[in-house]
Amino acid sequence: MIDCMAAIAEPAPSSVQAQTAHVDLALEGMTCAACAARIEKTLNRMPGVRARVNFATESASVDTSLDDPAPLIATVERAGYKAHVKRDVELERRDEERRRAAGLRALRADVAIAIVLTLPLLLPMLAMAVPGAHMSERDLIPRAWQLVLATPVQFWSGRRFYVGAWHALRGGGANMDVLIALGTSAAFLFSAVVTLMHADQHVYFEAGAAVITLVLLGKWLETRARAGTSAALEGLVRLQPKVAHVERSGALLDVPLTDVALGDRVVVRAGEAIPVDAVVESGISSVDESMLTGESRPIAKGPGERIHAGTLNGEGALHARAVGVGASTLLAGIVRLVAAAQGSRAPIQRVADRVSAVFVPAVLAVAAVTFVATLLVTGDAVRALVHAVAVLVIACPCALGLATPTAVIVGTGRAAQLGVLVRDAAALERAAALTDLVLDKTGTITEGHLEVLAVLPAAGRASDDVLALAAALERGAHHPLAQAIRSFADGRSIDLPTVQAFQAVPGKGARGRVEARGDVLVGSPGFLAEAGVADVAPVDQAHAEATLVGVAADGAFVGWIALADRVRPTSAAAVERLRSMGMTITMVTGDHAGAARRVAGEAGIDAWQAGALPADKVAIIARLRAAGRHVGMVGDGINDAPALAAADVGFAMGTGADVAVDAADVTLVRTDLHALADALALARATLRKIRQNLFFAFAYNVLGIPLAAFGWLDPVIAGAAMAASSVSVVGNALLLRRFRPRSST
């Protein structure tokens, strides 16, 4: 089904200059968006380095002219964080799982200790909330005991904030840890001094301890939730089995997947996952490819059919020859594309990045102003300190840093599960804004499996002569028309002449020299007319709406070959669905008007253009964009590549040519226009989540900081709200995992 997906199966070449290398770094120690901004700024100060840091994936994507990544790692470490070069996706996933599990265990222990020690400190607050209660804090827990309980919370459970703050300040920046450490330390030290001096002042041990406890609890919940954002990618990685059954020296051996080589003969038993990309040599079965394509129905497989790693074999055993192993399988290529997309940055994130870069210094300034202003107005240093602490605690940039990348991670992962491969986050954002779709005909709206209806020789010519000349020239072409003609000729067992000086003319046809026949042309009626072919016979009415390929030899017309391509059974419903989504649809094809009219009518498309060359498709897209429209191009052929690249978003059908897949922003592995509608719907849902998250994050800080500054927000409540903000943003993004396509193909 996905025979031409080799462009995905092989690692994509770097898009940067030949002198530049690409390095992916795994980062450790980031606690908020300010950390990510700090690392990115520090790396970008290095000569010849362009870095993009993703807080949600804890990674950096770096283009560098350096031969050795060691200076990059050293720079990150000087900024107060850890880094290492990412390795194989599977190895990196295992390491990440181990680090995440260890981190969660340590965090859970800190949270447990903090909760146990903080709950007694909250008893006075709870007692005062009881109607008719007149007990003071001293009646319940002596201040000395409060100091004893609060100290481990402050300096053991909260040690990570001091470590993070020290690293940030040493690197010349400030982050969330600075805010938390500064705010809670102020409350603790003030309370400790009051306690040790036996002063008649209220103490705030419960405030500092509760803030640390709530922030840690929020970080634990956030970390667990963030682990769920990459579940789709991890699920793809786990699809491939670890062992393959390989026939060697007449015996069937269980071989580790890493030892399977190209050309090995593998056996896939009923109900097993397929270990490698392979071509079936014997056996008949059905294969569930839904994990790669989103196609719910099992696909029949027999000799000559291609099967893919990670898909699930049905009821029959298959014997197949390995044609893709390790990093060259379709599954590995999909994992690479999804991982790259999840690490990319959407344009809408720029506002959040600019805010995050100056957020912490601005909050420190607001806290200082709050302290001074409150002291001047009230003359109460304690109240001024409490207000400033509340400002420091509530102003966490975590939610701002998580708003966009978490939605992108979940959205692109869910898209991959539906057979939609998104190149980067920018393409996802552009896809959500599309207003117009330009559709190619063959292989996009139609099945792409053309069949020869009839060979119509000119007067005095033989059918086999027309077919032999056409099939001989089309032997060097890759268009569906060429494949259909070659297949038809093979079935007739016709001897084909030798062709010299073959030349493909994109969008028109092909030419070459055949011994004793001179220059031979095969192509569209317009191609023959341009070449000045004489005495071109008209086509009878019965074949007027078929796709026509003309054949001429030495300037004389030889005959027509009439072909037809069935419209996909789902195309009409998918076109109607796209139209209901607000899309304006135009079909553009290089075929003649009769064939275009037939397909457009069956698919329910009103606007269409026939006889379009590759340059014409590009011109149509340019005209629509000049009119202020946002245009998506959908195609699968070599002649579609320029238009795919010219559109705001290029969608390549998964069965298309490699060059079309390379030029596209989105690849639809499932060859059905419903997959296009699913892609657009998911892009819109993802952008909607990003906007919701950014609104929540901005609104939280815009409302919270003034409330804290005016004393209307207790530090404990501020800590709870800060923790809840990050968890809510990640939770909102995780709702994308519930996205269900409307198609049921």
What would the pLDDT profile of 150-176 be if each residue is shown by its tens digit? 999 999 999 988 888 887 777 676 667
Residue 134, pLDDT > 50, answer: no
The total of other beta-carbon atoms located within 10 Å of residue 269's CB is: 11
Res 684: pLDDT: 95
What would the pLDDT profile of 6-18 be if each residue is shown by its tens digit? 445 544 444 444 4
| 135 pLDDT tier (thresholds 50, 70, 90) | very low
Average pLDDT, the chain: 82
Classify the C-alpha dihedral 426-427-431-432 as positive or negative: negative
Res 296: pLDDT: 62
54: β partners: 59
The total of other beta-carbon atoms located within 10 Å of residue 15's CB is: 8
The reported pTM is 0.71
CA distances, 481 to each of 82, 276, 359, 389, 704 (Å): 56, 31, 60, 73, 64
Tell me what the mean pLDDT of segment 273-284 comes to.
Answer: 90
Residue 667, pLDDT > 90, answer: no
Res 12: pLDDT: 44
More confident residue, 443 or 268: 268
241-327 CATH, one of 3.40.50.9100, 1.10.357.10, 1.50.10.20, 2.70.150.10: 2.70.150.10
Residue 708, pLDDT > 70, answer: yes
Residue indicated by tokens 């859970």: 108
What would the pLDDT profile of 456-515 be if each residue is shown by its tens digit? 999 889 999 999 999 998 886 767 788 889 889 988 888 888 888 888 887 788 899 988
Output the six-digit token pair for 678: 């699913």
More confident residue, 136 or 52: 52
Whole-number percent of the chain with pLDDT over 70: 86
Strand order in the sheet with 299-301: 299-301, 285-288, 312-313
DSSP 13: P
What would the pLDDT profile of 568-593 be if each residue is shown by its tens digit? 999 999 999 999 999 999 999 888 88
More confident residue, 1 or 357: 357
265: β partners: 247, 321
Residue 566, pLDDT > 80, answer: yes
Residue 121, pLDDT > 80, answer: yes
Res 581: pLDDT: 94
More confident residue, 564 or 267: 267
For 185-253, the DSSP string reads: HHHHHHHHHHHHTT-SS---HHHHHHHHHHHHHHHHHHHHHHHHHTHHHHHHHHTS-SEEEEEETTEEE
Res 702: pLDDT: 81
Residue 725, pLDDT > 90, answer: no
Tell me what the mean pLDDT of segment 103-127 comes to.
Answer: 83
CATH number for the domain running over 451-564: 3.40.1110.10
Tell me what the mean pLDDT of segment 317-335 comes to.
Answer: 84
Classified by CATH at the fold level, domain 420-446+567-668 comes out as Rossmann fold (3.40.50)
User: Largest Cα–Cα distance in the chain?
Assistant: 119
| 657 pLDDT tier (thresholds 50, 70, 90) | very low
Q: Quote the CA–CA distance of 476 and 516 in Å, as a whole number.
A: 20
Catalytic positions: 440
Q: Which of 539, 580, 576, 577 is nearest to 560 (CA)?
A: 539
| 294 pLDDT tier (thresholds 50, 70, 90) | low
What would the pLDDT profile of 55-107 be if each residue is shown by its tens digit? 777 888 898 888 888 999 999 988 888 888 876 655 656 666 777 788 888 88
| 124 pLDDT tier (thresholds 50, 70, 90) | low
Question: Is 59 strand, coil or helix?
Answer: strand
What would the pLDDT profile of 691-706 be if each residue is shown by its tens digit? 998 888 888 778 888 9
Q: Quote the CA–CA distance of 101 and 734 in Å, as a whole number.
A: 20
List the chain domain ranges.
241-327, 420-446+567-668, 451-564
Residues 714/183, Cβ–Cβ less than 8 Å: no
Q: Quote the CA–CA distance of 267 and 254 in Å, as a whole number.
A: 10
What contacts 24+ positions apart, CB below 8 Å, involve 695-700? 696/399, 696/403, 696/725, 696/728, 696/729, 696/732, 697/352, 697/399, 697/400, 697/402, 697/403, 697/725, 697/729, 698/355, 698/400, 700/399, 700/725
Residue indicated by tokens 């498709």: 617
Res 630: pLDDT: 96
More confident residue, 108 or 715: 108
| 374 pLDDT tier (thresholds 50, 70, 90) | very high
Res 311: pLDDT: 86
At residue 261, what is the residue type? Answer: A
Strand order in the sheet with 306-307: 251-256, 243-248, 265-268, 318-324, 277-282, 306-307
Res 230: pLDDT: 65
Output the six-digit token pair for 702: 């815009």
Query: Which ranges of 122-175 would DSSP assign to H, the alpha helix?
Result: 123-128, 137-140, 143-152, 159-170
**Count of all residues that appear for the chain in the document:** 745
| 620 pLDDT tier (thresholds 50, 70, 90) | very high
pLDDT-wise least confident of 21-25, 549-553, 637-641: 637-641
Tell me what the mean pLDDT of segment 224-235 comes to.
Answer: 66
More confident residue, 563 or 718: 563
Backbone angles phi, psi at 592, to 5 degrees: -80, 170
| 445 pLDDT tier (thresholds 50, 70, 90) | very high
| 371 pLDDT tier (thresholds 50, 70, 90) | very high
Q: Which of 208, 186, 206, 185 is nearest to 143 (CA)?
A: 206
Res 52: pLDDT: 87
What would the pLDDT profile of 590-611 be if each residue is shown by its tens digit? 888 888 898 999 999 999 999 8
